[in-house]
Structure 1
Amino acid sequence: MIDWNSIEAADYAVPGDRPLNDLVAELSRALADPDPTIRDGASYGVLATWIERGTIGPERRLELGDEMAARFADPRTEARTFAPLVLDMLVGAGDFKAGWVDAFARWYPAEQDLRGHDETLGWLHAVAHGADLLASFGLHPEVAPTRMLDLAAARLTAPTDHVYDQFEDDRLARAIGRVLTRADLSADDSTAWLDAIADRFGSDRVSTPVAAHISNCLRTLRQLYVLADRGVRATFDSPAEPLRHGAAVKAALAVTLDRIVRR
């Protein structure tokens, strides 16, 4: 087994005793390992650094992206939910395939295992990891931002018994907010995706306790309202960027929230 910790300690230098393609294949497998100390340990940092530095060539990066896109159909939760992290690394490095967006769009609203953390498997974070990739795709010039906004609405309205408990609502709200900074969005584009949410939840009969997916949706939209008012940060230490049509988004959010809570 490769000692990824020693590679990390050597400033991520590529070992001379193994072909790089073999190492990348090992990293790909490690990012789907059921052992969280392997999946979320030094191997993660090695892959991220090799992608960022261009250590892995463009052709192999595209192949890696295809592997991750196929992994959205993997039967194992940990394999599916770490695939968007790797794709996010690749998109951030400038790699892109339209097929990756299609695979992500099929998986994200359909994912059933929404646990943030499992005692055995460690971090899973389907919603949060998917949200990060949604933001990256939503800011990519080859992806229509409205497609990612509609995808966020589909995730928010998908039935689930799991209440977000590891800041998934904040991560998804931040991702939506980042997409809403796109300069090519019209005011209608920035708000039309909320219609599906209002129509889905606004017509239901009042019931208690509140269903998990409604609670998740409400908390996500409330956080988005704050971001629409204050701006959204690309990173924790970057300045807040205003939403393209912040006032219109706030107004539409208020109407949507009112329709849901007064149903």
Structure 2
Amino acid sequence: MDIKNTLQSFSTMTYSARQQFMGQNGDWMLQEMLTHIGSPDAELRDKLIYRTFIDILSDNLLSTEQIQYLFDTAISDDFLYLNIGEEMTDSVFTRSFSALLVASILAKDAELLILHDDRLQIFFQKIGRFLLLEKDTRGYVQDKGWAHSIAHGADLAAMTIKHPKFDLQHAPLILHALKLVTWKDIVFVNDEEERLINIIEALLARNYSEEALIEFVEQVFDKFEMHLVTQGYNDAFFSGRTCTLNVMKTLYFALKMNNLAPKLQNTIYGQVAKWLKLGA
């Protein structure tokens, strides 16, 4: 069977027909979907494989063993971390869409609580590495569709924080990655900021310390001073400054519109005003 044709056919099946198909061919189809999760064919990767993963998770068409297998495979070095650090190569599609798959599995497991605790805890301890190490910042890739690895990594980090078994002691590792993600020698242009601030909103929803987030914001802006002292006004400073300010402004308005964390709002406002020299 050809996986593309199979998924096209699967998308038109009734629920009962899907159940029967998964009972007979589910393991084969899942393996093929994983094999091609990073395909440069946007239709196969995004419109068929990713959407089918969402459908079969939402419709409870997977066994506990299959969900665990997908999770263990997707978080591995051959998927979520495949060749991480590379730029401008097709490996980004495997990393990026593995991130989306893991986020979807975590959302489902938040309801079911079936994933093995020991594997979850190992994953929680490492999650900050993805945004920290990912260097391929492309959004839409001509002829290949969306890569968007930074945005998908942000989605994964936010969903990880929302998981009921996530221990907030791991939050500083995610915040460290968030602090540095804006210093990748590029200014984001595909709404990555809106996805990145979901990390902060997820922490607030878990009652994470507002004081700790204020300290995080102060450290974010301390990096401006540190860069100027060590490297001066170079291209990296201006791209990092602009990208960081864009994220912080987006966060400020999100907090203000939702009446969240007033002290954090004030800290962000003061720092943004300082570095934009407002009122100077």
TM norm structure 1: 0.84
Query: Bigger radius of gyration, 1 or 2?
Result: 2
**Structure 2: 5+ residue runs without aligned partners?**
84-90
CA offsets per residue over residues 78-135 of structure 1, 9 Å max, x none?
1111111001111110155122223432222110001111113311111111111111
Q: Match for 1:82 among 97, 104, 108?
A: 97
Q: Quick check: 49-58 or 137-146, which moved more? A: 137-146
Q: Match for 1:207 among 198, 215, 233?
A: 233
Q: Residue in 2 aligned with 1:69?
A: 75
Deviation at 1:228, TM superposition (A): 0.8
Aligned-residue identity in percent: 19
Cα distance in 2 between the residues matched to 1:108 and 1:227: 21
Q: Residue in 1 aligned with 2:246?
A: 219
Q: Residue in 1 aligned with 2:86?
A: none
Normalized per residue, the structure richer in helix is 2
Q: Residue in 2 aligned with 1:53?
A: 59
Cα distance in 2 between the residues matched to 1:150 and 1:198: 18
CA offsets per residue over residues 149-189 of structure 1, 9 Å max, x none?
65244234243122211111111123322322223x23313
Q: Quick check: 16-25 or 50-59, which moved more? A: 16-25
Q: Quick check: 174-183 or 252-261, which moved more? A: 252-261
Q: Residue in 1 aligned with 2:47?
A: 41
Cα distance in 1 between the residues matched to 2:170 and 2:239: 25
Cα distance in 1 between the residues matched to 2:161 and 2:134: 19
Cα distance in 2 between the residues matched to 1:16 and 1:85: 22
Secondary structure, counterpart of 2:11 in structure 1: helix
Q: Match for 1:7 among 5, 10, 17?
A: 10
**Structure 1: 5+ residue runs without aligned partners?**
232-241
Are 1:201 and 1:260, in contact at CA under 8 Å, matched by a contact in 2? no
Q: Residue in 1 aligned with 2:187?
A: 163
Q: Residue in 1 aligned with 2:166?
A: 143
Count of residue pairs the alignment pairs up: 249
Cα distance in 2 between the residues matched to 1:223 and 1:136: 19
What is the aligned-residue RMSD (CA, Å)?
A: 2.4
Structure 1 residues 148, 111: CA separation in 2 closer, same or farther (over 3 Å shift)? same
Cα distance in 1 between the residues matched to 2:146 and 2:108: 24
1:84-233 map, 5 Å: 84-94=99-109, 96=115, 97-145=120-168, 147-148=170-171, 150-158=173-181, 159-183=183-207, 185-205=208-228, 207=233, 211-231=238-258
Structure 1 residues 167, 178: CA separation in 2 closer, same or farther (over 3 Å shift)? same
Cα distance in 2 between the residues matched to 1:149 and 1:260: 25
Are 1:108 and 1:155, in contact at CA under 8 Å, matched by a contact in 2? yes
Task: Report the residue type matching 1:81 in the other structure.
Answer: S
Deviation at 1:16, TM superposition (A): 6.5
Task: Report the residue type matching 1:223 in the other structure.
Answer: T
Deviation at 1:200, TM superposition (A): 1.2
TM norm structure 2: 0.80
